Structure 1
Amino acid sequence: MDFSLPPDLIAVRDRTRSFVRDALIPLENDPRQGPHGPSDEFRRELNALARDAGLLAPHMPGEWGGLGLDHRGKAVVFEAAGYGLLGPLALNIAAPDEGNMHLLEQVADERQKRRWLAPLALGEIRSCFAMTEPHPGAGSDPSLLLTSYRRTPGGYVINGTKWLISGAEGAGVCIIMARDEDSPDGEPRATMFLADMDRPGIVIERTLDTLDQSFPGGHCVVSFQDLVVPEEDVLGREGEGFRYAQVRLAPARLTHCMRWLGAAHRAHDVATAYARERRAFGKALIDHEGIGFQLADNELDLHTCGLVVAHAAWVLDQGGKGRHESSVAKVICSEAIWRVVDRSLQVLGGLGTTRDTVVERIFREVRPFRIYDGPSEVHRWSIARKLAREGVQ
């Protein structure tokens, strides 16, 4: 594996770093951000700034207005964008839109791409991905999928309830996972459907109050009440929903690692600068082992995350499915990034608990990362199952 970066990728990385530092970090306290994310007006302004900088949707192929970055390129640029809390949103590489764009680019037909992928890549609309359900429905266990569909002349009728649907409020399109109502219990035959969010039968029941607040549209409870979807709006082939979910989720887990790695670097930099300046008991905080060793451990965790992400990106770029690698990366990075941010807050002491630095916000934003896109426990279980089947390679 060659980890050296080509000059063109270095140039994009450096432009992204400068853009985040000069244009976005000064906007992090803009009042158009609330408990359920930035307003759509603010998002569009951020997208316009990124478009003017030539950095909008860098993960998309040129035909959709992007830079066509491969997974290694994403690792470099997404981390640079993640250094600012507004970076991923401005570049249009934030979840869930980034993962949905990847899925549409891989699976959608040409008509669907023109209708939904094109405006999504340009930031003209947002999207959501409706898979997770409240108890007793599907969460980490897809066999519990309850939202169902039945055939009707010319299409399908969908009924069910989803929750923790990121970005649902104000989204333009939803990707819905539903089971054939004739599927046997425990063995659902799942299909993905595309639906404009203003269609009759889609109801946003409420927006949940959550720890994080970086997702425009918040995290919602959404119900489908006799929603009619025409045949041409099936995403891919009927019955292939679970397979397509892996097309989306494996790389999406990895891009989460990339973005939050940038935020962890930011928290570490803030804490390190403070520890070098703040004095106690006759010397700078960083010269006390209790502080210096925490920052050294941050360096170790950040270095490990960078290598893990680079390896997983390499596997995907070589044509591998990357499901195992993304599970490994998700566990290592989500837990290591949390440790980095937690230590950074501890180094800052009382200052870290205030909003006088960005670390308090990063602390709240990264904690859910250990849960969404599969909690650490489920990924460990998946890794153990692989070992049981295949043994040590």
Structure 2
Amino acid sequence: MDETAVRAWSPAVIGVLRRRGADFAAAEDAVQEALLEAVRTWPQDPPRDPKGWLVTTAWRKFLDSTRSETARRHRETRVQTEPEPGTVPDADDTLELYFLCAHPSLSTSSAVALTLRAVGGLTTRQIAEAYLVPESTMAQRISRAKRTVAGARFTHHGEVGTVLRVLYLVFNEGYSGDVDLAAEAIRLTRQLAAITDDPEVRGLLALMLLHHARRPARTDPDGRLVPLAEQDRTRWDTRLISDGVALLQRALAADRLGEYQAQAAIAALHADAPTAAETDWPQIVEWYDELLALTGSPVVRLNRAVAVGEADGPHAGLAALADCDPSVPRHTATRAYLHEHAGDREVAARLYAEAARSASSVAERDHLLRQAARLNSGA
């Protein structure tokens, strides 16, 4: 049995329970219990109607958890009028659930955790392991998030940008524990793209696929980072690239450009180049100009400086870098890279070593230290 396929039913089943009167927290708990029971029992006794089975089981779990006998009798009376398995209504509350989990009252970390739990169907243990925190800590975080959104309902679609930011945060966490969060984010974004026509949803999904396509080439057999220009492009997943480009073209055809579409366009230009030397850097600079106009992001401005350095030479890149905020992460590493390509090896080596001290990961730190050592050794 495919456990991921079982989890995919989670948001739809939560929606059914909420329509029957369960509050969000109780519905989500009941569905989690039903999912666990499905994982235990379906391999030996698969149901004819998986969604109906999950709805029935989750509703019974909800009823069993109700302590008040009066409330129990009321709900049991109501359940007799609900459809039996096989006649579960087709109404899909998944979109509302996405917005609920990305509620503006939630912190970013809570929104991510609640999305993975309610929409993704992951257990608290799996989420805790993925984020390298104790299970008790994650349980408290999810419980607070559920209390925050308890009783919240939407009469119109929420802010899809908030949902997309949450999904992109999940994607960028990558992999740890027994859950591949990048793959999970792609699955959830595919699900969102199937129920909404927003071109930015397609843009984000395209961006994820294009980045994910390069994943096998990002590290060497020893786990060391491999820069984009040095990656073995034969290891890139051409199927994911093709899917990503097709999604991007559909999104751009709507003529409602957004930041994820612009980022995906940049990723597509990298993916389209047979070699690093054949990358269309002038067009990438143009897309960074579009992205900067959309976001005003200091990180985008920094990345644009790198692209300018590739398109017009390292001195032009350093001139563009002068307009960037020096406190932005990887600013020093970018200076080092541009100085190296300008021939200032001594300056570049010093800056690589300086950048290593503020690296965001061990792999990044080690890569920067190797760059400094390479220049200092004259290699």
Q: TM-score range by the shorter chain?
A: under 0.3
How does the TM-score come out when normalised to structure 1? 0.26
Q: Which has the larger radius of gyration?
A: 2
Structure having the larger proportion of residues in strand: 1
How does the TM-score come out when normalised to structure 2? 0.27
